[in-house]
Amino acid sequence: MGVLSWDCFLPILLVVGQQLCDSGSTADDCLQLHPPRVVVRHGDPVSVNCTVSTNHIGMGWAASVDDVPITTGVQFLTWRVESLTIWDLGPLCYANRPGKPQCMERLSVTVYKPPDSVSVSSVNSTDSMVEGSQYHLKCEIQNIAPVQNLTVKWYKGDTLVHEDRDYVIKVKKPEREKAPVSVSSILLITANRTANRTDDNVQYSCGAELDLGPEGPQPPLAVKSTPLRVTVHYKPTITPIATELHVIRGKSDVLNCSAKGNPPPDIVWIFNGQRLPTQDGIYTISETDDEGKYTCRANNYVGIHEKTLRVIFTDPKQTWILPVVVTLAVVAVLLFICCIYFWKRNRPRARLLAEAETEDYSGISFHNL
């Protein structure tokens, strides 16, 4: 019977080693990997040292790429790959000991890939939204790995508004599959203007973040989309106007109305249900117009806002009455204030004169006695 070579036993030992490693066991911790876990960008080089701490008759690396054959007379062995392009692999370092179980230690390898692209769009296929309505935005991330470490982040401006780990994977693969996949995430928003109600445009963006632990890139790898600018449309709001306008007969005056809205509203003055010739929110009142209620109406496709004022015509001869009454009232108040001031100012002097006269009289009477 011939003697079997060592090469005949090696496959058997690797199978046994595979089973032991899958069960999470090793032999006496006689092997140490430096580092024990690696995170590698797809296509980058990687190298790991395996050191044996016991006597052995040969050690090596079993791997699906660039394995290292069994070697004797060494205390460490390096597994090295110039360009790692395999997504799922678990290199195994092993050492054979005389009369003892084989030492084995499996290297944890994570191969990652940034996404080809990250984009955000409106599911409703519109760049404008009506204030108060709800819309769906979609974030699409193309070819990223490993998807198990992915978090989709949504931003409004620079503010993080939502984190999503329940995204949809476009092509389903086995759970342990680590190859790149494409995913999508949906965000439900309510269209509102900014707090100061001066900015009608809002920007939304999404980002793909891979958190690969302390061995991975720090800070975690993040790729952000180009912002989607959303225009918020809202109904007009008329700037406050006076409730009455007094117009002198024979003279002219203007009714002025302005409003803010998006899209810019159409502004018109209305009297007795009839539209008046209005330009830039201005209508000129003349002697041919009538007294009564005039309504400013601002409208766009989102809504309508109205405000009303009363126009009152006055005769020219009556126009002097109010200014005269106001002037007389002001003069009367000023005179009253002056009288009070001089009275308070002269009161101490009058008191001193009275006391002085009293003393003089008292002195004369005392002398005569």
Residue finishing a domain among 111, 146, 166:
111
Q: Which of 101-105, 130-134, 187-191, 324-328 has the highest mean pLDDT?
A: 101-105
Mean pLDDT, residues 213-241 taken together: 92
Say what the pLDDT of residue 358 is.
Answer: 53
Q: Are strands 92-96 and 58-62 parallel, antiparallel or unpaired?
A: antiparallel
Say what the pLDDT of residue 23 is.
Answer: 39
Mean pLDDT, residues 211-220 taken together: 93
pLDDT tops 90 at residue 349: no
Residue 125 and residue 103 share a domain: no
Percent with pLDDT over 90 in the chain:
59
Residue 38 in any domain: the answer is yes
Residue 245 and residue 220 share a domain: no
DSSP 169-228: ESS---TT--S-EEEEEEEEEE----TTS---EEEEEEEEEE---TTS-SSPEEEEPPPE
Residue 255 in any domain: the answer is yes
Split at pLDDT 50, 70, 90, the class of 17 is very low
Residue 96 and residue 69 share a domain: yes
The CATH number for 136's domain is: 2.60.40.10
Residue 221 and residue 249 share a domain: no
Residue finishing a domain among 283, 314, 345:
314
Say what the pLDDT of residue 347 is.
Answer: 67
Residue 222 and residue 123 share a domain: yes
Residue 124 and residue 190 share a domain: yes
Residue 70 and residue 164 share a domain: no
Contact indicator for 261, 239 with CB cutoff of 8 Å: no
In 3D space, the residue among 52, 94, 92, 91 whose CA is nearest the CA of residue 74 turns out to be: 52
Residue 329 in any domain: the answer is no
Contact indicator for 208, 141 with CB cutoff of 8 Å: yes
Say what the pLDDT of residue 356 is.
Answer: 55
pLDDT tops 60 at residue 116: yes
Q: Kindly state the tokens that stand for 93.
A: 């370092």
Mean pLDDT, residues 207-216 taken together: 94
Residue 224 and residue 152 share a domain: yes
Residue 138 and residue 78 share a domain: no
Number of domains observed in the structure of the chain: 3
Say what the pLDDT of residue 231 is.
Answer: 86
Q: Which domain holds residue 165?
A: 117-230
Contact indicator for 6, 70 with CB cutoff of 8 Å: yes
Q: Kindly state the tokens that stand for 303.
A: 């809504």
- pLDDT tens, residue by residue, 69-110: 999 999 999 999 999 999 999 999 999 999 889 999 999 999
pLDDT tops 90 at residue 36: yes
Quick one: CA dihedral 312, 318, 320, 324, positive or negative?
negative
Residue 37 and residue 133 share a domain: no
Angle among Cα 186, 187, 193 to the nearest 5 degrees reads 150
